[in-house]
């Protein structure tokens, strides 16, 4: 199990858990990013900028600090 920030571009993973439950992680779950969801890291912005993840029919940009809270298992 690793954090989302440790994935490389183009990698697929399954969401395992959230490191810390707060309003932000609750919102991610409302959007459908729940444990068991398969995601793909689409791209990263340069200079430690946001990263884009795809799951289902959605694409979502996450800041590095926020993506550290999403724990995944690489597929």
Q: Which helix (H) or strand (E) holds 59?
A: strand 58-62
Confidence of residue 60 (pLDDT cuts 50, 70, 90): very high
Nearest Cα residue to 19 out of 7, 30, 9, 5? 5
> pLDDT tens-digit profile of 2-14?
999 999 999 999 9
What value does the mean pLDDT take over residues 15-39?
90
Of 44, 41, 36, the C-alpha closest to 63 is 44
Q: What percent of the chain has pLDDT over 90?
A: 68
Strand ranges, E, within the chain: 2-3, 12-18, 38-44, 51-55, 58-62, 70-74
Mean per-residue pLDDT for 18-37? 89
CATH class belonging to 2-74: mainly beta
54: tokens are 């795809």
Chain centroid to CA 3: 8
For the chain, the domains span 2-74
pTM: 0.85
């Amino acid at each position: 199990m690793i954090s989302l920030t440790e994935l490389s571009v183009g990698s697929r993973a399954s969401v395992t858990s959230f490191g810390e439950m707060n309003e932000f992680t609750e919102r991610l779950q409302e959007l459908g990013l729940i444990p068991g969801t398969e995601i793909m890291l689409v791209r990263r912005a340069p200079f430690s900028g946001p990263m884009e993840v795809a799951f289902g029919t959605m694409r979502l940009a996450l800041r590095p600090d926020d993506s550290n809270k999403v724990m995944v298992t690489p597929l």
